[in-house]
């Protein structure tokens, strides 16, 4: 099926070029733009999976000698176990994991080239260009920059939720539900395969955070970091990465419970509203509820301790795992 990938991403990169031209971006902005364009071109080059010449689909060949029919032993009416009947063991579990991995590879590629996810990556690129081209009168040090990473992750995470939901409801939009249900893989295996695509936004956010911190290091003040500062910075970065994986889990869970296309958008708005209320507060005043916000503390002059930062990481990991579990529990409704 053909999708509008190139037009959407081309518009994003055109906007990036325009921002560089208007803002007078320097060498770093041009390098970031060139890197993003190269990555996008590589993604677009693989969008035709097995279509036309050079496809990767295996050729069909006629079967060889017919296999002998496998005898099926009838179950006695009394419900007694059948002697010699196969049991579901380790080999069956390995087979299910192999199918889930195969689905996960396909869905990871579909998520990476989804227009909604591409728009989120484009927003990250525009943010990097803005950081590199606009001179900040008060340069930010690396510690403060790391504390901002969960906040900066939200645009990409929000669009990832929409993209994951659309991928999980693809069969409904394409009217291929009966075909999908006829496949040997059950809903549990397919859901596990969808969830395996969670590494895609994590990698994208990792690249975004690394580029952002490099820009801050190049333009900000020189400052040495103690062991506690490094641990706190690591906690903030891990929080931002967990948001990417949790976004995929939330999109899949929403698709399993509610398939309407407006559901993920409403969920993103609702989560953002609640998180903003939880993270807000008076300047310099810390509240424990701030750790429940996906943004973290948003009030001025509130700096978390190392323990509080890792508690926030644990909270995000817990709600991400709970969301993935909700997606698996709802597999019978899919």
166-216 pLDDT, tens digit per residue, is: 999 988 777 777 667 667 677 788 888 899 999 999 999 999 999 999 988
CB 109 within 8 A of CB 48: no
Phi, psi for 198 (deg, rounded to 5): -65, -15
Indicate the pLDDT class of residue 139, thresholds 50, 70 and 90: low
Report the candidate in 243, 240, 252 with the shortest Cα–Cα distance to residue 195.
252
Report how far residue 183's alpha carbon sits from residue 215's, in angstroms, rounded to the nearest whole number: 48
Whether the predicted model's global pTM rises above the 0.85 cut: no
Report how far residue 246's alpha carbon sits from residue 254's, in angstroms, rounded to the nearest whole number: 12
CB 290 within 8 A of CB 274: no
Tokens describing residue 22: 């208007």
268 vs 7, more confident: 268
Mean pLDDT of 266-282: 93
What does pLDDT average to over the chain? Answer: 76
Report how far residue 276's alpha carbon sits from residue 148's, in angstroms, rounded to the nearest whole number: 14
Report how far residue 157's alpha carbon sits from residue 320's, in angstroms, rounded to the nearest whole number: 13
Of 137-146, 179-188, 219-228, 318-327, the poorest mean pLDDT is in 219-228
Report how far residue 29's alpha carbon sits from residue 246's, in angstroms, rounded to the nearest whole number: 30
Highest mean pLDDT among 8-22, 33-47, 117-131, 138-152: 117-131
Report the candidate in 250, 255, 240, 254 with the shortest Cα–Cα distance to residue 316.
240
Report how far residue 104's alpha carbon sits from residue 192's, in angstroms, rounded to the nearest whole number: 8
Radius of gyration, alpha carbons of the chain: 24
pLDDT of residue 48: 42
**Residue 45: is its pLDDT beyond 50?**
no
CB 122 within 8 A of CB 13: yes
Of 27-36, 133-142, 216-225, the poorest mean pLDDT is in 27-36
Indicate the pLDDT class of residue 50, thresholds 50, 70 and 90: very low
Which residues have CB under 8 Å from 207's CB, separation 6+? none
Which residues have CB under 8 Å from 214's CB, separation 6+? none
pLDDT of residue 244: 96
241 vs 43, more confident: 241
């Amino acid at each position: 099926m053909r999708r509008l990938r190139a037009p959407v991403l081309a518009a994003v990169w055109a906007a990036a070029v325009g921002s560089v031209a208007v803002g007078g971006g320097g060498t770093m902005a041009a390098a970031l733009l060139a890197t993003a364009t190269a990555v996008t071109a590589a993604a677009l080059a693989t969008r035709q999976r097995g279509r036309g010449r050079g496809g990767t689909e295996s050729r069909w060949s006629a079967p060889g000698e017919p296999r002998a029919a496998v005898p099926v032993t009838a179950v006695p009416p009394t419900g007694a176990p059948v002697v010699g009947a196969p049991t579901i063991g380790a080999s069956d579990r390995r087979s299910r994991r192999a199918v889930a991995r195969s689905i996960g590879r396909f869905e990871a590629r579909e998520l990476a080239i989804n227009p909604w996810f591409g728009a989120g990556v484009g927003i990250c690129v525009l943010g990097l260009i803005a950081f590199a081209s606009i001179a900040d009168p008060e340069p930010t040090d690396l510690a403060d920059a790391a504390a901002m990473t969960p906040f900066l992750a939200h645009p990409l995470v929000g669009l990832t939720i929409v993209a994951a939901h659309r991928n999980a409801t693809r069969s409904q939009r394409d009217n291929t539900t009966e075909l999908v249900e006829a496949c040997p893989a059950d809903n549990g295996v397919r859901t596990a395969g969808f969830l395996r695509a969670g590494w895609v936004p994590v990698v994208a956010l990792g690249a975004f955070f690394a580029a952002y911190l490099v820009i801050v290091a190049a333009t900000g003040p020189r400052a040495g970091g103690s062991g506690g500062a490094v641990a706190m910075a690591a906690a903030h970065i891990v929080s931002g990465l967990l948001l990417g994986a949790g976004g995929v889990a939330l999109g899949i869970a929403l698709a399993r419970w509610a398939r309407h296309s407006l559901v993920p958008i409403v969920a993103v708005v609702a989560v953002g509203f609640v998180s903003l209320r939880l993270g807000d507060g008076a300047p310099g005043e810390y509240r424990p509820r701030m750790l429940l916000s996906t943004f973290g503390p948003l009030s001025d002059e509130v700096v978390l301790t190392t323990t509080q930062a890792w508690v926030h990481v644990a909270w995000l990991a817990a709600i991400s795992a709970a969301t993935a579990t909700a997606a698996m529990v709802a597999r019978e409704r899919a």
